[in-house]
Chain A
Amino acid sequence: MENIRRVAATVLRAPFTRRTRREVCYCAAGAVTGLVGFVLVMVILVPALFISASVLGTVAGLLMVVAVLALARRLGALHRLLLRRGTGERITAPAPFEPGAGVLGRLDRRLRDRDAWRAVGHALLKLPVAILEGWAVAAVGFGLVDITYPLDWVLFRNHPAGTRLSPMIAAAPVPRGHLAIGTLPGTLLAVAIGVACVLAGVWLARGIVAVDKRLARALLGPSRVSELERTRAIAVEDAVVALRRVERDLHDGAQVRLAAVAMNIGMAQEKAGDAELRELLDAAQSGVGEALADLRRIARGIHPPVLDNGLADALDSLAASSPIPATVRADVARRPSPAIETIAYFCVAELLANAIKHSSANLIEIDIDTERPDVLRLRVSDDGRGGADPSRGTGLDGLRQRVSTVDGALHVSSPPGGPTRVTVELPARMTGRGT
């Protein structure tokens, strides 16, 4: 009994809460944007699909698809905004669209924009939700009007008896949902219908808003895959930044201090007269020298400082210390992101070391270019004996794995007898912090 009363109280009080008012207002806005969004998307998308069926129309069709994708992203942003304002539901926006370079690059990125496709899906699936939202608003609206009938009757229908009046129509947004009322007691029935409509509308609004939120959360937030891609890019770049910091700390911290120690020992050596003391100082000096050489080697393996000047300089340095003559041809229009430069550098270093160790070549050629603006391509070729096989557990396999952490690719061409040519393709920048 107590329970029933509590439920009834909740049901009946619902129309007077602030939350309900917000939900009904949101339903009104959501219905309009949902319907408009659906119509806009369909108006472009359907003809686009038809046009694309013909050869000539493919280009126009593609452009229209691109327009739909761009539009869907905007609509998604609008829906997120409405949800936040109307219901307080915060949905994280997916990463902004990153245009590729060149017409084809742009097109390709657009068509593979997973978040935009999901937004298109949302625009289409939102239609039934928008209709129900509209219906809920209509129910509340009609109900409120119906409730006012007794008052209307008293104010406007107190004509002398015998006057013939057209009946008042009490309406509800359901099929055959209207009732002609010709007497004052009849208006009380209209009130009953009105109350029922308001209650139905309010509770429908609550239910459909919950559905709307779920739909938006599922399709308008960042997708799992793009979220993983983004965080991976951040992780890779953070790792590079951290390694550079370690290198700097080694070079500018420990190494400088050791150099100062070496200098002080050096000055002491000059002043020491005692042979035994000199011997000790000599030993200290050579120890410091070895420590410095070790540190330099470690720091170099972490991050070669010359990479700060760009890949071309770094590869020149690398080639210059090769015992087999090596040439570098670099044609990089725009510097790739630091993480990509570092990966590219260590790829070349490893490929060069491989060639030196196994190829018995007379000449090694290193080429890097950004012929396709989104792709950093590097190639290490030698005129040696060939026969390198990445599937036989050589360094090439590890290299392929390292390259794949940034969605790069590695191709090996090494017929027996040579020549060997290894090509690595890396994305020029990572999709991450919008860099």
Chain B
Amino acid sequence: MRVVIAEDAVVLREGLTRLLADRGHEVCAAVGDADALLAVVREHVPDVVVADIRMPPSHTDEGLRSAEAIRRDFPSVGVLVFSQYIETRYTSRLLESGAGGVGYLLKDRVGNVGEFVAALERVASGGTALDPEVVARLLRRPDPGLAALTPRERDVLGLMAEGRSNAGIAAKLVLSEGAVEKHIAGIFGKLGLESSAGDNRRVLAVLRYLGAPGAAGE
């Protein structure tokens, strides 16, 4: 993967660069603010961008706005927004900016290097990566369909909403892929969703069902 990093905290910027380099990925550029980010994306057109949500100059939501701009101008570039906190409103803005190729993770998640890199790879290849915290909030919704699910099915649904593939879900829950597929069929039946081909369409269908604002329009 060719990666661009935008993060204003030097410790994290350098740490991420090293972590990705260790794993054999190429870090084209690592910058500290939103303007520089857009410039290096234009220059390198990487596979994926990791962008801190809050960067100079105004320290509000530069990362998110850059993500929207990058998704609009460079549809081939995935953007993983990397944040100290989760805001549902930000999730929906990201999802509005296009189906797939986006991610929203808490900075905490770099602790699990394997999962973090896997999420980044997913975003780079046009998939979705939503933080478990976002999904947990969505699943808190009172809903008769959700209430009908078994605990195992809820786990599978959550992992689907995070954007994981069947294989990813299977690995995470220590199940066979066949078992995961059976659970998914059960879930789609109970929720009245049409099973659709393609991981990303499936993620969107699930998010739409969960009422994530912004997932409505593909």
- Mark A residues whose CB is within 8 Å of B: 248, 251-252, 255-257, 259-260, 262-267, 269-270, 285, 288-289, 292-293, 296, 299-300, 304-306, 308-309, 313-314, 316-317, 320-321, 323-325
Contacts and interface: CB of A to CB of B under 8 A. Distances in A.
B75 interface: no
Nearest to B61: A309
Interface string B58-75: 011100000000000000
A320 B90 CA distance: 11
A263 B110 CA distance: 5
Nearest to A296: B85
B9 A256 contact: yes
B16 interface: yes
B174 interface: no
A251 B106 CA distance: 12
Contacts of A304: 87
A256 B107 contact: yes
Contacts of B9: 252, 256, 260
Contact of A320 (B54, B106, B114, B137): B137
Interface in B126-147: 137, 140-142
Interface string B104-120: 00111011111010000
Given A260-B11, A324-B142, A306 B108 contact: no
17 contacts: A252-B59, A256-B12, A262-B110, A263-B16, A263-B113, A266-B112, A267-B18, A267-B19, A288-B111, A292-B107, A296-B85, A296-B106, A305-B85, A309-B89, A314-B89, A323-B140, A325-B142
Contacts of B137: 320-321
Given A300-B85, A317-B89, A323-B141, 17 more contacts: A248-B59, A252-B54, A252-B59, A259-B107, A259-B111, A260-B12, A263-B110, A266-B110, A288-B108, A292-B108, A296-B106, A309-B60, A309-B61, A320-B213, A321-B140, A323-B140, A323-B142
Number of chain B interface residues as a range: 20 to 34
Interface string B12-26: 100110110010000
B175 to A, nearest CB: 23
Interface in B50-103: 54, 59-61, 84-85, 87-90, 92
A422 B112 CA distance: 45
Nearest to B18: A267
A269 B12 CA distance: 18
